[in-house]
Chains A and B, each alone.
Chain A
């Protein structure tokens, strides 16, 4: 079955760290750009990082320097290392498979079910 299973969320104190994981199956993981997208409860969606099939990372300014995306193709796995977490990072984090558009960015064709990250003291 083609799917993404994200995990690793939990409760963390402000300033703390957390590492999210995403296990891919049913498709050739190594050939796809992969991403993390988050959703604050009751609010919209925000793209938080992406990594090309070749390993190049991409970040929006809101998380640059705090979040690190990585992948391990041999394990069909995607990761997000989140440091210096803030209350505003509280959200459900989704792993997503992306399709790149030349000169543009990506649209997302497959999503995980999400993992909840709560940043609170």
Chain B
């Protein structure tokens, strides 16, 4: 199975900050990478697929980049509703696998 490694595992940031989360795949996955957001007690929310394509309705403050084995999710101008845990997921190979998550907390 392809291993997905996110860094950092958590970070503290202030409202208005720009943050970047990275995700590394254990082998080349082209651009078959998705990002999603999870808040406590809520359904996960899909943000990005194909490494950089926003899902419908997702604000442009979220952006994704990368290909091959290195990927990044950037959130511009953090707002209170953005504090959550973010996960990457590869879908290049069977089975689909996930990163361990990055928790974005308020500083």
Contact = CB atoms under 8 A, between A and B. Distances in A.
Contacts, number: 66
A71 to B, nearest CB: 19
Nearest to A35: B96
Interface of B: 32, 34, 36, 41-46, 49, 55, 87, 89, 91-101
A72 interface: no
Contact of B87 (A45, A60, A104, A113): A45
A57 to B, nearest CB: 13
A107 B44 contact: no
A96 B89 CA distance: 14
B50 to A, nearest CB: 8
Contacts of B99: 44
B55 A109 contact: yes
A99 B49 contact: yes
B41 A104 contact: no
Given A44-B100, A108-B34, A114-B43, 10 more contacts: A4-B43, A45-B98, A47-B98, A96-B44, A99-B49, A101-B32, A105-B91, A108-B36, A108-B44, A111-B44
Contacts of A45: 87, 89, 98, 101
B69 to A, nearest CB: 16
Contact of A113 (B42, B55, B101): B42
A107 B89 contact: yes
25 contacts: A4-B43, A44-B87, A44-B101, A45-B87, A45-B98, A46-B98, A47-B95, A47-B96, A58-B95, A94-B43, A94-B44, A96-B44, A104-B92, A104-B93, A105-B93, A105-B94, A105-B96, A106-B96, A107-B34, A107-B91, A108-B34, A108-B46, A108-B89, A111-B43, A111-B46
For chain A, which range describes its interface: under 10, 10 to 19, 20 to 34, or 35 or more residues? Answer: 20 to 34
Contact of B32 (A96, A104, A113, A114): A104
A99 B43 CA distance: 18
A110 interface: yes
